[in-house]
Amino acid sequence: MQKLDVVTFGEAMALFMAETPGPLDEIRHFTRELAGAETNVAIGLARLGLKSGWASKVGADAFGTFIMKRLAEDNVNVDHVFKDDRYPTGFQLKEKALKGDPAVQYFRKGSAASFMSADDFQKDYFSGAGHLHMTGIPLAISSHTRSFAEKALTHMKETGRTVSFDPNLRPTLWASQQEMIEVVNEFAFKADYVLPGISEGELLTGYSSPGDIASFYLEKGVSLVVIKLGDQGAFYKNHAEEGTVKPFEVKKVVDTVGAGDGFAVGLISGLLENLPLNEAVLRGNAIGSLAVQSPGDNDGYPDRKTLIDYMNLPI
């Protein structure tokens, strides 16, 4: 079994990006790419030279084959990805937005990934990784994926691994906002590092200031909270220090999707490499800013040299 630095899990989908602006029903030409918050993180970490793995299910179809090939091209380990000939691989359509967040339509209900359950969990695979990164998306997809998430989180904590948790809220996947808040927080409280966006933090905690949001989780046993503030940078707080790290200037935002996952790539890689906390957060800001300057969900994620060169530019 390959020794992994980080393992993650979730649903990947084929992504069809509109080549021209306008309503999705009027678009004739799309570019195919890969979508999935957790695959974004796995790809980003692999590009920086870390050994990352992703666990899931895909359909025994063209989209599933595409996803497996695409991840292999980026050196993401897929030994815990299984093909299911009963259910299809999900896909999504994404608008080409000229300003703000693009509209996205999902076709994921009843997908192969949504049937990944606790019975599919392979303890040895996860034990081969030093860190688990997870998001709130598998908690919302189905009861099956939530049971897998619970097993993965419990195993990694019991075996002394660190866990990062990005809420990545998807309200439309939940039966109610209250259920979303309760379940997401239940998992967040068990993580070592919690990484909400500022609006997510406000919704999940009821507090509006970054410091209060962070304290809410620290009091529940979390070791570190880093709050993404968009074009204001990021705020971090643990039991010893806190601060705000400035953003990187972005002259033109092309597409905001994948920015939060890019931030997670920078922060996690920095923490695993024992960078000072503020430098790890700065790396997160750097990759997040690169992400919004490209059209695909992970197109802008850099390799190690590109990242170093970019971070050495005046900001």
Active site (catalytic) residues: 261
Residue 54 zone, left/alpha/beta (φ > 0; ψ -120 to 50; rest): beta
Can you tell me the distance from the alpha carbon of 179 to that of 226, in angstroms, rounded to the nearest whole number?
A: 23
CB contact set of 246 (below 8 Å; sequence gap of 6+): 233, 282, 285, 315
Q: What is the residue whose two structure tokens read 């850099």?
A: 302
Can you tell me the distance from the alpha carbon of 296 to that of 256, in angstroms, rounded to the nearest whole number?
A: 9
Q: Could you tell me where the beta strands, DSSP code E, fall in 155-223?
A: 162-166, 193-194
Q: What is the residue whose two structure tokens read 């790396």?
A: 283
CB contact set of 219 (below 8 Å; sequence gap of 6+): none
Per-residue DSSP letters for 210-260?
A: HHHHHHHHHTTT-SEEEEE-GGG-EEEEESS-EEEEPPPP-S-----TTHH
Q: Please work out, in degrees rounded to the nearest 5, the angle formed at the alpha carbon of residue 192 by the alpha carbons of 159 and 113.
A: 75
Contact 173, 135 (CB under 8 A): no
